[in-house]
Amino acid sequence: MRHVVSAMFLASLAGSAAAEGHMDRGAYLVTSLMACGNCHSPMGPEGPIADQALGGRLVEKNPQFTAIAPNITPASRVSEWSDAELGRAIREGLRPDGTVIGPPMPIPMYRNISDDDLAAIVAYLRSVPEVEHDPGTSEYNIPLPPAYGPPVESVTAPEPAVNAEYGEYVAQLAHCMECHSPLTPQGPDLGENMGRGGFEFHGPWGTVVSPNLTNHPEGLAEYSDAEIKTMVTQGVRPDGEAMQPPMPYGNFAGISEQDLDALVAYLRTVPGKPDM
């Protein structure tokens, strides 16, 4: 019996460690790599308002749409959704009632979130402080698709490593190309013009146009790896000029060194094209 109790105790410790690691991964994804609060938190001139984190806000208003990122804390309607329904909304852009979540929610990238990472994200969102805030409802003057693709059955992430394959997965989680591609009436152009910049963002900071991320002289080709990493995590150009929001430098400062190196490795593979 002593051996049985010992085994059960060790199993309990292992389960607790796994659960803690699961939550840590979810926190890392939501608060750092995916920077969910950059869209889903009320914004001031200096960035997201900390005590209203994930409470929702107006993200973008243009002739194509008025995009409202909803409150995703446990005080919102997502508390009534099952974990599977919340996961489906994040990864496939479909609410429980079957309606489609429109741009700029980066569903084309998020469809590649692995099953394990999706579960960690949902678990973490269930744990965040409640924020009582109703930011309103999105309105679209463009046709939305009935879905962003067939149902996602299962996704496994590439093995973490400093290479372009894993770096592409990191870029998808960070939805780099969603913001750094030109806006079309149907949302960001992730085809021929992916990564060429030109997406205008409007907010308390004024109007900011996303720059070119391709491997072109007008993009990233002439920057060193260290310079790219400093721009991503600190918002400072090589000449010392401070970069503007809405790039979530504060969130990206928490990206792990391995993920950051992998991201740069991927960006070096993006075919070079001039600015839009």
Helices (H), the chain: 2-28, 37-40, 83-92, 107-110, 115-127, 164-173, 176-179, 225-234, 249-252, 257-267
Q: What tens digit of pLDDT does each residue of 194-228 get?
A: 999 998 888 777 889 999 999 999 999 999 999 99
- At 262 the pLDDT is 98
Secondary structure (DSSP) of 10-59 = HHHHHHHHHHHHHHHHHHHIIIIIS-THHHHS-EETTEE-GGGTTS-EEE
The CATH number of domain 159-276 is 3.40.710: no
Q: Indicate if the alpha-carbon torsion angle 174, 175, 181, 185 is positive or negative.
A: negative
Query: Cβ(144)–Cβ(102) under 8 Å?
Result: yes
67 membership: H or E segment, kind and range: strand 65-69
Residue 68: per-residue pLDDT: 97
Predicted confidence at residue 2, as pLDDT, reads: 34
Give the C-alpha separation, 199 to 50, whole Å: 26
Q: Contact, 163 vs 262, CB < 8 A? A: yes
List all residues 6 or more positions away from 35 whose beta carbon is below 8 Å from its beta carbon.
174, 248, 251, 252
Residue 17: per-residue pLDDT = 54
pTM value > 0.95: no
pLDDT for position 15: 57
Give every residue of the chain whose pLDDT is below 50, as ranges: 1-5, 9-10, 12
Q: How many residues does the chain have?
A: 276
**What pLDDT was estimated at residue 5?**
46
Contact between residue 203 and residue 193 where contact means Cβ atoms under 8 Å apart: no
CB 252 within 8 A of CB 238: no
Output the pLDDT for position 184: 78
Peptide bond into 238 cis (omega under 30): no
Predicted pLDDT at 1:
32
Domain ranges of the chain: 18-157, 159-276
Distances (CA, A) of 70 to 24, 57, 135, 161, 248: 24, 7, 6, 34, 18
Q: Would you state the pLDDT for residue 14?
A: 52
